[in-house]
Copies of this chain bind each other. A is one copy, B any other.
Amino acid sequence: MMRAGPAPEEIRRHNLGTLLRFVHLRGPASRARLAESLGLNRSTIMALTSDLTAAGLVREELPRGPGRRAGRPSLVVRPESTRVYVLAFDVGVDRLVVARVGLGGVVLDRREAARSRDADPSDLVGTLAAGARSLVRKADRGAVCVGAALAFPGTVRRSDDAIMFGPNLDVGDVHLGDALSRRLGLGIPVSVRNDANLGALAEHERGAGVGCDNLIYLHGDVGVGGGIIVGGRLLGGDEGFGGEIGHMVVNPGGRPCACGARGCLEAEVGERTLLDLAGREAAPGQSGRDAVRGVVDAADRGDIVAREALHRVGNRLGLGVANLVNVFNPGMVVFGGTLRDIYLGSAAQVRSVLATNALAAPRERVKLRTTELGDDTTLVGAAEFAFAEVLADPVQVLTRLRTPEDTPVS
């Protein structure tokens, strides 16, 4: 807050990033629209676009399709989606996903593997690296990987990406990113972040929460994670551990939680508790998500035990949401992963508890929504996180990546 205003060089870098970010998130746009949206004049837009084109990040084309009007058409600026891409990794308890995602957010290609819960954790890096390498081999000649990030269901320290706590997945190696980066051999680091934090980013940038700058994302896998957007930014806290909503106590003295406490949101509304209350367990080979859907479907068909289980879980979830509404005054709460299904099966209960326990002022306008990114919320978040560096300083990053490492750079 004490910093002086930016120098012209910083402004130019900022403007390059802003323009690239615009077409990355909102799609191809005419120079005229860019000028208007970014509040810059057309000659500045032209200069910025020319630099981005030279770096291979965008291309300019005549507009396609019937929308063309008479007169000299404004050129359309498109992200180079097949030439500039990131690698996104999503580590779930039941499945692993690796995707090659192009600038503009296009999933160009993906590999997915089911994962048995007793799989050897040492296989993890090998499986992810093999999947990624097969994706890279299929990329266009001349394509550049500009970043990589991994979504992990645990607590991750911001300063060095170390996994501090991941009770639902023993990974053996807490520096997963370094190990994966070495195995990939692409010369780019792999960032590791909490999966639900990345999910919040994804919903905010490409999902249900576009335009909503105060948003809470609740993610269910085996555990319950959270990601919080405050004033348009991801809440990380002092060391990046922020957003551990799953360990907010909603029932003091309640069910024991993997973290050692009792009555945490995770322990009260997680997959295991729902299955337990419903008197079910996951069939051999069945994913937790499918088992949860089984309970919700049974309740829909009138199964009393399943209904009662969802009712109880909905009560606790509603209390957690009410606390969050009071503390954050969010515009939206988004449910994803298994919590998408749990919320859909218990929405009436959640809303009823919210009505009793949240203050009227912050409650009145809050929207409760399910993810718009299906099962890919955390994966999309990892891709967006991986794009952050190139969006912050597009030309510099591209120049560096296109320079072979053994060439001396002055």
B322-A249 in contact (CB<8A): yes
A329 within 8 Å of B (CB atoms): yes
8 Å CB interface, A4-58 against B: 4-6, 10-12, 14-15, 18, 21-22, 37-40
Closest to A37 in B: B2
Binary B-proximity of A222-251 (CB < 8 A = 1, otherwise 0): 000010101111011111111111011111
Tell me if B5 and A15 are in contact (CB < 8 A): yes
Check: A1 CB closer than 8 A to any chain B CB: yes
* CB-based contact A155/B237 at 8 Å: no
Q: How many copies does the complex hold?
A: 2
Residue of B nearest to A18 (CB): B4
Residues in B neighbouring A259, C-beta threshold 8 A: 359
Interface residues as binary, A308-339 with B (CB distance below 8 Å gives 1, 0 otherwise): 00000000000100110011111100000000
Q: Given A5-B18, A21-B1, A360-B164, do A330 and B238 touch, yes or no (CB 8 Å)?
A: yes
Q: How far is the CB of A267 from chain B (nearest CB, A)?
A: 12
Contact A237 B252, beta carbon cutoff 8 Å: no
Is A137 in contact with chain B by the CB < 8 A criterion?
no
Q: Per a CB cutoff under 8 Å, which of B4, B241, B330 touches A329?
A: B241
A356 lies within 8 A of chain B by Cβ: yes
Residue of A21, A37, A164, A247 most packed against chain B (CB within 10 A): A247
Which residue on chain B has the smallest CB distance to residue A323? B248
Which of B2, B243, B245, B360 lies in contact with A18, CB distance below 8 A? Answer: B2
Provide the bound-state CA to CA distance between A40 and B2, in Å. 12
A326 touches B3 (CB 8 A): no
Chain B residues within 8 Å of A356, by CB? 260-261
> Which of under 10, 10 to 19, 20 to 34, or 35 or more describes the interface residues of A?
35 or more
User: Are A359 and B6 in touch, CB under 8 angstroms?
Assistant: no
Residues on B with beta carbons closer than 8 Å to the beta carbon of A39:
3-4
Q: Is the CB of B38 within 8 A of A362?
A: no
Q: Are A329 and B365 interface neighbours, CB within 8 A?
A: no
Report how far A164 CA is from B364 CA in the complex, Å.
Answer: 12
Residues 368-406 of A, flagged 1 when their CB comes within 8 A of B and 0 if not, give 000000000000000000000000000000000000000
- Confirm or deny: A357 has a beta carbon within 8 angstroms of a beta carbon on chain B: yes
A361 touches B239 (CB 8 A): yes
Q: Which residues on B sit within 8 Å (CB–CB) of A346? A: none
Q: Is the Cβ of B214 less than 8 Å from the Cβ of A40?
A: no
Q: Determine whether A289 belongs to the interface, using a CB cutoff of 8 Å to chain B.
A: no
Which residues of the partner chain B approach A365 to less than 8 Å between Cβ atoms?
A: 238-239
CA distance A213 to B212 in the complex (A): 23
A5-B14 in contact (CB<8A): yes
**A238 CA to B238 CA, complexed, in Å:** 23
Please tell me which one of the listed residues B22, B214, B237, B322 contacts residue A238 in the complex, with CB atoms under 8 A apart: B214
Give Cα A158–Cα B249 distance, bound, in whole angstroms.
30
Task: Flag if A14 contacts B18 (CB, 8 Å).
Answer: no
Q: Are A250 and B248 in contact (CB under 8 A)?
A: no
Give CA–CA (A260, B261) in the complex, Å: 28
Interface residues of A (CB under 8 A from B): 1-6, 10-12, 14-15, 18, 21-22, 37-40, 155, 157, 164-165, 212-214, 226, 228, 230-233, 235-245, 247-252, 259-261, 319, 322-323, 326-331, 356-362, 365-366
Give the 3 A-B residue pairs with the shortest CB-CB distance, closest first.
A237-B329, A5-B11, A241-B329
